[in-house]
């Protein structure tokens, strides 16, 4: 069976958000705690920083610090989070970045990929961080 995979960045980012969502409003998670769950600390710092810059998390430094959700889990759309972490959700580059594929003008399945991407984005709009728990 073929698989459609998230990037490690997206997968780890969703793991972090899932943990935060399970803790409720004001719940925190530190990089050290995430590392204790098997997530690479330096990589998680990069992912968390993307989510901070995009407004999904705030960062508290020092003792008792960590990352905190800026909104209720039910109000954070997975599509927005995944785009903040990885950019476009498109499974192939030609959908959102025309001209990068040498086969683009003769592609027999470009129409399908456009529809697939549209449906994927619409589906991801329906899910929130609350759905992760």
Q: What are the domain boundaries of the chain?
A: 8-132
Cα–Cα distance between 133 and 115 in angstroms, integer?
29
Q: What is the pLDDT of residue 64?
A: 82
pLDDT tens readout for residues 48-75: 999 999 999 999 988 888 999 999 999 9
Query: Any residues with CB less than 8 A from the CB of 57 and at least 6 apart, and which?
Result: 20, 48, 51, 67, 68, 69, 70
Q: What is the pLDDT of residue 53?
A: 97
Residue 109 scores a pLDDT above 90: no
Cα–Cα distance between 42 and 98 in angstroms, integer?
33
Q: What is the pLDDT of residue 28?
A: 94
Considering only residues 113 and 127, tell me which one the structure prediction assigns the higher pLDDT. 127
Claim: this prediction has a pTM higher than 0.95:
no
Residue 114 pLDDT class (50, 70, 90 cuts): confident
Considering only residues 73 and 88, tell me which one the structure prediction assigns the higher pLDDT. 73
What CATH number belongs to 8-132? 1.10.10.10
Q: What is the pLDDT of residue 3?
A: 64
pLDDT tens readout for residues 2-50: 667 788 999 999 999 999 999 987 889 999 999 999 999 999 999 999 9
């Amino acid at each position: 069976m073929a698989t459609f995979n998230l990037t490690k960045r997206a997968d780890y980012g969703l793991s972090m958000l899932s943990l935060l969502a399970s803790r409720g409003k004001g719940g925190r998670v530190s990089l050290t705690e995430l590392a204790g769950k098997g997530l690479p600390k330096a990589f998680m710092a990069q992912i968390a920083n993307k989510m901070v810059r995009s407004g999904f998390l705030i960062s508290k430094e020092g003792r008792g610090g960590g990352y905190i959700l800026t909104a209720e889990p039910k109000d954070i759309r997975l599509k927005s989070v995944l785009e903040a972490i990885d950019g476009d959700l498109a499974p192939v580059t030609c959908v959102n970045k025309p001209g990068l594929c040498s086969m683009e003008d003769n592609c027999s399945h470009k129409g399908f990929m456009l529809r697939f991407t549209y449906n994927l984005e619409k589906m991801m709009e329906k899910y929130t961080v609350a759905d992760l728990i």
